[in-house]
Amino acid sequence: MVAWPGCRSRPHLAASTWRDRRVLIVFDSVTASPGTPAGAQLAFTGWEVRYADPVFDADTPTLFDFRVPQGRGSRFVYVLPADGHRALVELTAFVPGPAGPPPPAALAGYLHGGYEILRTESAVVPLHTRPARRASGRVLRIGARAGLVKASTGYGYQRIQRDSAAIAASLARDGHPFARPVPRRRYRLLDAVLLDVLRHEPVQLERAFARLFLDQPAARMLRFLDEDTGPGDELRLIAALPPLPYLRAATRQAWHRAGSID
């Protein structure tokens, strides 16, 4: 299970026995990861709504719609239709520091009247660009607490599925869950640059996503969101971005990382 502050799901710890059935392995998705402060936060407020008339195209989701009032950071909307009458409408905000979920009034302003709210959801997800400390004795952090939410997008589902498969393979092969592939550093660097732009020039986020989705094949973008791209794909994506803001951000990150080396 994945849990984070503000999430309304009930958190829990899952444990299983190891070898002699006396020592527990604890898979922890609840407690905070030490030493990994969030560089930004992804906050969202969502409504599942239903209209009497068919107003949605069930085959066409809306992603990264920035046509909402902008506050601190950068805001956009997802619309994920279930059918012509019903959809999940999610107001999402990338915020450079601590934040609460976006106000429901901002979501109401995006929708036309005449809808029924079937359910609501809200949460704040910390976004980390530094590797999380995952293992401590017999405790292994998983999910969002393991730093598996992609910092530049807030996406984590595929990363968590791959990590879960690696944990299961390690248990079957080695009798413990700790033999997992090391994440590629270049993804963390790309995330750090994008979040740096968010902190210093948030207006650039809309321009970047517009350029990426207009100029790049959808399959390449989806691979990037799932961290399944190769260096060639990533160079093409970088080339599609407005150069100056990202060069400035990359320079700041290089100086920051150089200053962190003892």
Q: 115 forms bridges with which residues in the sheet?
A: 51
pTM as predicted: 0.71
- DSSP class of residue 149? S
User: What is the per-residue pLDDT across 133-145, written as a single tens digit (0 to 9) for each?
Assistant: 777 778 888 888 8
CA 129 to chain centre: 11
Distance separating alpha carbons of residues 119 and 107, to the nearest angstrom: 14
Mean pLDDT by 10 residues, the chain (262 residues): 39 46 73 57 93 94 88 88 96 84 88 93 83 78 83 81 90 84 78 81 80 82 80 85 83 70 44
| Parallel/antiparallel/unpaired status of strands 23-28 and 139-141 | parallel
Q: How many CB atoms lie within 10 A of CB 32?
A: 15
CA nearest to 107, candidates 90, 130, 85: 90
